[in-house]
Structure 1
Amino acid sequence: MNPSTSSADSEAKNEICKVCDLVAHGVHFGVSSCRACAAFFRRTIVMSRTKKYKCRGGHSKCEVNTSDRYQCRLCRYNKCVTMGMTAENVQWNRDPFPENRKRKEHGSEKEEEMKKRPPSPPHALLTKPKRIVDVTMLSAKIQKILNDKKIAENPKLKNLNNLERLDHALREWRSKQKKEEDMEMISKLTIHEMFQMCEDQMLVIATWLAHCPFFQKLEPTERYRMFKVVWNVWRRFERVEMSVQMFGRRTPGRVMKFAMSEKFYVTPKLSIDISKITNWPLSAQFMGGLFRDSVRKLFEQTGVQLAYLEPSSMEMTYMLSQLSWQLAGQALQGKVMEIAEIQQEELADNLHHHYLQIKRRSNYAGRLVKLMSVVNIVKRLQIERKITIELANVFDFFNVELSDPDFFEG
């Protein structure tokens, strides 16, 4: 048994992490805490980082909570100690990224579960078999990009830090964005056309992720799983911010145009034909509303803040990165969470350097809080959206299945 973690996980059930207020996963180093804060405390002790930490706010009074735990490492460590974490049980000489973890092949658990299930009851045979949409070729394209080490080794990126690399990738994508007068309005959209736009943006997002050195530390299967968790919310958030930037400075809460891609924009009157993926007469209205509402809610709840903040490309990159790694860490746990923890600390350092050395701005704490509040809104809306989609699946709204069922899990 790992002496750093008490076996009495049940005692921490339904409790919150005493350090950051997220859900606790057990008692670590004597304190009910989440795995992320436990890993942070262990790394701090093992790597003797306490003397290297400096308070971002300058007064050792920074907030440490669900949204701000990554911003000031000194205050986070001090809170760990204040809450009662002790270094006595920290394991030394433990590889933070063990490469010899035993992992099951993707899908093997599902196959074993299917073998144990009893035969389907007779009434199940009355259900119409769903048409399978093969995304194998698209999946192969995405994984080829995610595993292409040459992207991260591009000589242009040699002297750039982590955040600057990702900003470089975001700028490359946005450099293709046409001006409003050169864009074409779409009033009707089929599900095939919509998926085609998503497919093009999937490749962009895969390339963006591949620019990150920490992303390359993941196993290939973990890279692909992370991509599936984040691509859709990344796409929507990036497009909403671009739309506010292009069309919504005057009326950010009522943006009437949405830059769906670099070439096309739509309005609230957009008609989405999803008849190819459903047999339910009412589901077209329901699901069409879902597609529109997920974007509408983002506009309504983040538009004003985005218009007011006018985030720079670097700040938008920071928000996209925090959003991606937080969602991936929470969804995938394990090694992904460990790397997500370090990645977010690195991003915070990079942004700190950007504000101080590039922008010559030392008092940025308030702005950072506002940026992260936007990220938290996007995360909350993403949870709501997933619940709605799960509800649609429960009622069998879709008459198609993807060859990779969790391709749209995000």
Structure 2
Amino acid sequence: MYTFSFQNPSKPDPAGDDSGVDTSSKRKGVPETCLVCGALTRGMHFQVASCRACAAFFRRSVKAKKVYRCRRGNRNCDLTKPPNGKPICRFCRLQKCYKVGMRLENSGTDETVLVHSNTCSTESSYSGSPENTSYLRVVNGNRLERDVDKVIQEIREFFKSNIRFGAMNVPSGVHATPFQQLQYAFSKFREEMTPSTPVVPVHTYDKLAVYPFMEEYAKKSAHMMMSCDPFVHLCPEDKYKLFKHAWPLIHYLERQFSSCEIFGYDIDDLRFVITDKVAIHAVNSQVYVDGMPQEKVNELTKFCYPLKQGMFEMITVPMKQLQITQFEVCYMVGLIIFDTTEVRGLREETKIIGEQTLEQFSSELHNYYTYELKMPNYAARHAKLIRLISGSQQLSLKISEYMVMAKVFDIFITDIYESELIA
């Protein structure tokens, strides 16, 4: 269980420097190895034996909320051997800084201690803001009243447009491919939907406070889909059919990928990001529902345990073992959006556009594996991506089935999984 301590801001050590280094005389004659890059160092930065270069890089990256991409795409670069004299991979360097224990709030300055105090007050529990949850309520102990018609109508109106959403900053005369458009939109989507700063799993959280985020997630997913030309040119009704099938699957895969990006790929690490501000621990974090007796909440949690186990086995473990890249996640998102075989009642024109778009996406993936990752034999890896999509589809069906059973057994009653927002 995580514990937090609130201490008075300490005065900065005159012997320290801007990177939070301990330069006391008793350490000056004892060279150590930087835990990040392997270079020799004689000081402690952010409570960790590290060189000044890595400490300065960590401070700049965290302060500026930098988002990096792994140079090689495998998120396991050797930081002790820069390639041909080039700078080491910034993504892997920042991840290593977090892994060895660097934390900006531990530097001891007035500024960072105050940041620590402010964030801890929100990390111990999460209940959401009243304005976001005012239209959510539980009545009769286990019935969730939640009106999603407004969200559905807003998305349907948005899909009536035939103008691409969001513009890419490309030179005049340069045409972006549909997959490049989706890549750009997916990157922007993740910037809005994932925490911009390091997060610590909360001790307790109100399940109702997560629903407003889910609705915003659905709307942002619609924006992302409308950033891709082939989708824009479909008829509004087919757009919505593809959307309501796709966005829950995208949610399962993207949330797990973002959790891996933030917390790493250790299979035993059970931390998981659930909103753009909140992360939980699958075992230690306790859930409650405002207005619902805790006995009922515990009963629902126990009833839904197989769903949590299924997500771990079908999505979490395979994704962490694969050490998937954002390019591959975006490819899966594209496959989910334009997979017309899984959606009934689509026009023939829509099916043709979907098939042509998937062929283009497959060519982009081939080029990525062949020329960027230098992986000519990628059939096994591609098969694992398809299994991840299949796992998300199975999970989506299971969740709907379990919510129906929970309604039948009077454990928890909600109509959202039978609404037009979810297929």
For normalisation by structure 1, the TM-score amounts to 0.57
- 1:204 counterpart = 2:216: no
Q: C-alpha displacement at 1:179, in angstroms? A: 5.9
Q: Distance in 2 between matches of 1:243 and 1:398?
A: 28
Q: Distance in 1 between matches of 2:248 and 2:411?
A: 20
Q: Could you say if the C-alpha distance between residues 172 and 153 of structure 1 is closer, same or farther in structure 2, counting changes exceeding 3 Å?
A: closer
Q: Equivalent residue for 1:57?
A: none
- 1:317 counterpart = 2:333: no
Contact 1:189 1:270 survives alignment (8 Å): yes
Q: Equivalent residue for 1:383?
A: 397
Q: Equivalent residue for 2:388?
A: 374
Q: Distance in 2 between matches of 1:338 and 1:390?
A: 35
Provide the secondary structure at the position in 2 that maps to 1:156. coil
Q: Distance in 2 between matches of 1:274 and 1:291?
A: 15
Q: Equivalent residue for 1:332?
A: 344
Q: Could you say if the C-alpha distance between residues 391 and 178 of structure 1 is closer, same or farther in structure 2, counting changes exceeding 3 Å?
A: closer
Q: C-alpha displacement at 1:295, in angstroms? A: 4.7
Q: Could you say if the C-alpha distance between residues 308 and 329 of structure 1 is closer, same or farther in structure 2, counting changes exceeding 3 Å?
A: same
Match of 1:175, as an amino acid? E
- 1:301 counterpart = 2:314: yes
Map 1:279-298 → 2, pairs under 5 A = 284-289=297-302, 294-298=307-311
Q: C-alpha displacement at 1:164, in angstroms? A: 1.7
Q: Could you say if the C-alpha distance between residues 367 and 131 of structure 1 is closer, same or farther in structure 2, counting changes exceeding 3 Å?
A: closer
Aligned equivalent of 1:349, options 350, 360, 363: 363
- Measured against aligned partners, the alpha-carbon deviations of 1:139-184 in whole angstroms (never above 9, x if no partner) come to 233334444444357253762222221111111123354466x325
Aligned equivalent of 1:257, options 255, 260, 271: 271
Match of 2:234, as an amino acid? L
CA-atom RMSD in angstroms: 3.4
Q: C-alpha displacement at 1:315, in angstroms? A: 0.8
Q: Equivalent residue for 1:170?
A: 186
- Measured against aligned partners, the alpha-carbon deviations of 1:299-322 in whole angstroms (never above 9, x if no partner) come to 333333322322222111111222
Match of 1:271, as an amino acid? Q
Map 1:200-239 → 2, pairs under 5 A = 200-239=216-255
Q: C-alpha displacement at 1:372, in angstroms? A: 1.8
Q: Distance in 1 between matches of 2:407 and 2:264?
A: 34
Q: Distance in 1 between matches of 2:296 and 2:351?
A: 37
Contact 1:162 1:350 survives alignment (8 Å): no
- Measured against aligned partners, the alpha-carbon deviations of 1:185-243 in whole angstroms (never above 9, x if no partner) come to 33333343111121221222111111222322332122223222222221122101221
Q: Could you say if the C-alpha distance between residues 240 and 131 of structure 1 is closer, same or farther in structure 2, counting changes exceeding 3 Å?
A: closer
Q: Could you say if the C-alpha distance between residues 200 and 216 of structure 1 is closer, same or farther in structure 2, counting changes exceeding 3 Å?
A: same
Contact 2:403 2:413 survives alignment (8 Å): no
Q: Which runs of 5+ in 2 are unaligned?
A: 1-139
Q: Give the aligned length.
A: 276
Q: Distance in 1 between matches of 2:259 and 2:343?
A: 28
Q: Distance in 2 between matches of 1:288 and 1:314?
A: 34
Q: C-alpha displacement at 1:399, in angstroms? A: 4.7
Match of 1:199, as an amino acid? E
Q: Distance in 1 between matches of 2:246 and 2:296?
A: 26
Contact 1:275 1:284 survives alignment (8 Å): no
- Measured against aligned partners, the alpha-carbon deviations of 1:228-270 in whole angstroms (never above 9, x if no partner) come to 2222221122101221232242x32x33210112321011233
Match of 2:219, as an amino acid? L
Q: Distance in 2 between matches of 1:289 and 1:218?
A: 43
Task: Give % identity.
Answer: 17
Contact 1:146 1:224 survives alignment (8 Å): yes
Provide the secondary structure at the position in 2 that maps to 1:266. strand
Q: C-alpha displacement at 1:405, in angstroms? A: 4.7
Q: Equivalent residue for 1:272?
A: 287
Q: Equivalent residue for 1:240?
A: 256
Q: Equivalent residue for 1:120?
A: none
Contact 1:202 1:231 survives alignment (8 Å): yes
- Measured against aligned partners, the alpha-carbon deviations of 1:360-388 in whole angstroms (never above 9, x if no partner) come to 54332232122222222222333322322
For normalisation by structure 2, the TM-score amounts to 0.56
Provide the secondary structure at the position in 2 that maps to 1:258. strand
Q: Distance in 1 between matches of 2:263 and 2:310?
A: 16
